[in-house]
């Protein structure tokens, strides 16, 4: 029996010829990512070394990445203190892959990692963030862990006692219709699987709709696999992966690409014809409460958000700018746009998108996690309703448990900003 | 035997257990003050330390879904709760094991607030209703970490043995 993509990666990461779902392994880690919660990782890391008589040095500073994104610039002295603690640690340990609050190299961790070429196909990536699943878009096995787990990785260079996950194969047939996007595909899939349908499993994407999808789109679908509970999403790397790594991420040497075996064993195979998809909306207060847009048209909106690690990339901003060009954000509706990285922000400036957004009445915010997690920007009032291209709509997510969040694609968000209600971006009859 | 002090439904996310707006607070000694903060009555009792150790929270399926924030586990470990759920989300389960929070996977659990439960090696007995419900073992892969009392002592042992 052959191996799935993740089984193959884990076999290589443990120096074995073959592994199978259920095996317990300790894979070496190629990249270990944290953000502001690195402050807690440092605390736990120091605790591991306490009373050992050993010097608390990370196993390999070149394999650690720390990106400030959750609360940038700091919203409180407490956060500023955490960030300072991390800066000191980074300097002391010699961690070079550090992205501070800067306009030339900052952004959301799940955009910075691919953009700077930190993620290699076939590698093992862990991050103290649940959306670390994103990097499966480049063919890595990439999954979220907690801060204490990360402290052990910093100390030991491997993840302890990992059970090889089973894999759900998702085959995506057909071609996306106009104004139907990878976001609609992943919302549809999460709705189908439910919030726990892929718990402890990997979702491996295949099919012509994936083959023709850009890395940006693949990042969207892998990002949100965690909303079905998945350990990770993964796309077998191909010519598009090579193009992205060389042309966009500036990677000089890409390792030899490999895919799953043709006779790999999957727990489940799901086929989706994307030609038949309509724009999808995740309704409050769970991501799996997904409905086709026609069932929620006309819901009144107080705030529209475009951005985040899910949909804050240049192609997302391009579609929004196309729809908003020469139009105005509806009175009584606030529109917030936050590009996923400062590189994307600069590109959007040069292409005129930022001007289009501002002329329409949108507020363009700095790159970071912003309103998505409701920490310090764009919080909602009691009774407010938001529509966002972000990834979660849990009660309280956007800073207020007495508000509601709907999730959608950038095209739906932009079209709805003009009307102030949930609006289908397609023309009648499309 | 211990009492059920709080009952929640399915898909309780980490944003409900420990909302994102308090994520700048990271230390396990400080997180319990924000546990279930949007449930003010329960949160107030946690802050007043009204619950004896090993008091029970009963939950539905997919408890702890969402973010990887470890505060969601540490805020329940502080007051020494036991969480019985129909099942747990992967990252929450790992975080809880790593911190030594006691969890019980009990797919058929039926219990109400105020019920007295006894947890044995293979079942949960609801003394109030007289019914008992089988337990599913925690992942075998993590047993060594559970036995060591959490990931910090486990990783420390490995370091001291030179198994870097």
Picking from B9, B90, B138, B145 by the largest number of A CB atoms within 10 A of its own CB, the best residue to mutate is: B90
Show residues of chain B in contact with A160, CB under 8 Å. 145, 151, 154-155, 158
Instruction: For residue B35, give how far its alpha carbon lies from the nearest alpha carbon of chain A (Å).
Output: 13
**B101: helix, strand or coil:** coil
Q: Kindly determine whether residue A146 and residue B70, on different chains, have CB atoms separated by under 8 Å.
A: yes
| A62 DSSP assignment | G
Residues 29-58 of A with CB under 8 A from B: 36-37, 39-40, 43-44, 47-50, 52, 54
Q: What are phi and psi of A337, to 5 degrees?
A: -125, 125
Instruction: Label residue A93 exposed, middle or buried (CB < 10 Å: 0-12, 13-18, 19+).
Output: middle
Q: Kindly determine whether residue A49 and residue B139, on different chains, have CB atoms separated by under 8 Å.
A: no
Instruction: Label residue B146 exposed, middle or buried (CB < 10 Å: 0-12, 13-18, 19+).
Output: middle
State the residue for tokens 């991420």.
A249
Residues 142-181 of A with CB under 8 A from B: 144-149, 151-152, 155-157, 160-163
Decide the pairing of beta strands B56-59 and B2-7: parallel
Q: Kindly determine whether residue A229 and residue B67, on different chains, have CB atoms separated by under 8 Å.
A: no
Specify the CATH number of the domain B2-136: 3.20.19.10
A303 within 8 A of A386, measured Cβ to Cβ: yes
Q: Kindly determine whether residue B91 and residue A146, on different chains, have CB atoms separated by under 8 Å.
A: yes
B95 within 8 A of B76, measured Cβ to Cβ: no
Ordered structural domains, chain A, with CATH: 5-272 (3.30.499.10), 280-419 (3.30.499.10)
Give the ipTM of the model, two decimals please: 0.95
- pLDDT, tens digit (0-9, with 9 covering 90-100), for B113-159: 999 999 999 999 999 999 999 999 988 888 889 999 999 999 999 99
- pLDDT, tens digit (0-9, with 9 covering 90-100), for B34-46: 999 999 999 999 9
Quick one: what percent of chain A has pLDDT higher than 70?
Answer: 99
pTM: 0.96
| A405: confidence class by pLDDT, cuts 50, 70, 90 | very high
Q: Kindly determine whether residue A40 and residue B70, on different chains, have CB atoms separated by under 8 Å.
A: yes
Which residue of B lies nearest to A157 if distances are taken between CA atoms? B164
Give the residue extent of every domain in chain B.
Answer: 2-136
Picking from A146, A230, A373, A390 by the largest number of B CB atoms within 10 A of its own CB, the best residue to mutate is: A146
Q: Kindly determine whether residue A24 and residue B11, on different chains, have CB atoms separated by under 8 Å.
A: no
Which residue of B lies nearest to A200 if distances are taken between CA atoms? B90
- pLDDT, tens digit (0-9, with 9 covering 90-100), for A46-74: 999 999 999 999 999 999 999 999 999 99
Residues 316-335 of A with CB under 8 A from B: none
Nearest Cα residue to B18 out of B28, B7, B4: B28
Greater confidence (A1 vs A93) lies with: A93
């Amino acid at each position: 029996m052959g191996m799935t993509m993740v089984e193959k990666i884990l076999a290589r990461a443990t120096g074995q010829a073959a592994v199978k779902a259920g095996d317990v392994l300790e894979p070496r880690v190629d990249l270990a990512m944290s953000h502001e919660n690195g402050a807690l990782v440092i605390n736990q890391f120091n605790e591991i070394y306490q009373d050992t008589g050993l010097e608390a040095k990370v196993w390999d500073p070149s394999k650690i990445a720390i990106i400030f994104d959750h609360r940038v610039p700091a919203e409180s002295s407490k956060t500023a203190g955490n960030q300072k603690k991390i800066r000191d640690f980074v300097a002391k340990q010699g961690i070079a892959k550090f992205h501070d609050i800067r306009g030339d190299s900052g952004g959301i961790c799940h955009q910075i990692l691919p953009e700077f070429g930190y993620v290699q196909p076939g590698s093992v990536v862990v991050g103290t963030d649940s959306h670390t699943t994103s990097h499966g878009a480049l063919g890595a096995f990439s999954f979220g862990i907690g801060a204490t787990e990360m402290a052990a990785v910093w100390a030991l260079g491997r993840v302890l006692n990992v059970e090889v996950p089973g894999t759900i194969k998702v085959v995506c047939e057909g071609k996306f219709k106009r104004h139907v996007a990878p976001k609609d595909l992943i919302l549809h899939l999460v709705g189908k699987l439910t919030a726990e349908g892929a718990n402890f499993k990997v979702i491996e994407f295949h099919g012509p709709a994936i083959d023709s999808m850009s890395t940006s789109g693949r990042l969207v679908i892998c990002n949100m696999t965690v909303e079905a509970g998945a350990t990770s999403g993964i796309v077998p790397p191909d010519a598009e992966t090579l193009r992205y790594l060389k042309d966009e991420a500036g990677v000089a040497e890409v390792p030899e690409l490999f895919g799953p075996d043709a006779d790999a064993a999957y727990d489940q195979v799901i086929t989706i014809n994307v030609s038949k998809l309509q724009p999808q909306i995740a309704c409050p207060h769970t991501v799996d409460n997904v409905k086709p847009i026609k069932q929620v048209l006309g819901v009144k909106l107080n705030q529209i958000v475009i951005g985040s690690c899910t949909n804050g990339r240049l192609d997302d901003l391009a579609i929004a700018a196309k729809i908003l060009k020469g139009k105005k954000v509806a009175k009584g509706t606030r529109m917030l746009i936050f590009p996923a990285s400062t590189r994307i922000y600069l590109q959007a400036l040069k292409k005129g998108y930022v001007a289009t957004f501002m002329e329409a009445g949108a507020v363009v915010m700095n790159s970071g996690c912003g309103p998505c997690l409701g920490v310090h920007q764009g919080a909602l009032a009691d009774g407010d309703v938001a529509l966002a291209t972000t990834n979660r709509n849990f009660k309280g997510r956007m800073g207020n448990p007495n508000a509601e969040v709907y999730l959608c694609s950038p095209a739906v968000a932009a079209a709805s900003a003009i009307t102030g209600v949930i609006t289908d971006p397609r023309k009648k009859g499309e | 035997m211990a009492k059920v002090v709080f009952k929640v439904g399915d898909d309780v996310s980490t944003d409900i257990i420990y909302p994102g707006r308090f994520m700048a607070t990271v230390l396990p000694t400080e997180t319990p003050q924000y546990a279930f903060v949007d449930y003010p009555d329960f949160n107030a009792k946690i802050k007043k330390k009204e619950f004896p150790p090993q008091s029970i929270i009963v939950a539905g399926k997919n408890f702890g879904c969402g973010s990887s924030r470890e505060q969601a586990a540490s805020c329940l470990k502080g007051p020494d709760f036991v969480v019985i759920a129909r099942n747990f989300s992967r990252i929450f389960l790992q975080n809880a094991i790593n911190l030594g929070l006691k969890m019980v996977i009990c797919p058929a659990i039926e219990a109400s607030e105020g019920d007295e439960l006894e947890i044995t090696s293979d079942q949960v007995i609801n003394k109030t209703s007289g019914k008992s419900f089988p337990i599913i073992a925690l992942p075998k892969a993590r047993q060594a970490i559970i036995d060591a009392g959490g990931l910090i002592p486990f990783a420390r042992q490995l370091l001291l043995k030179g198994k870097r």
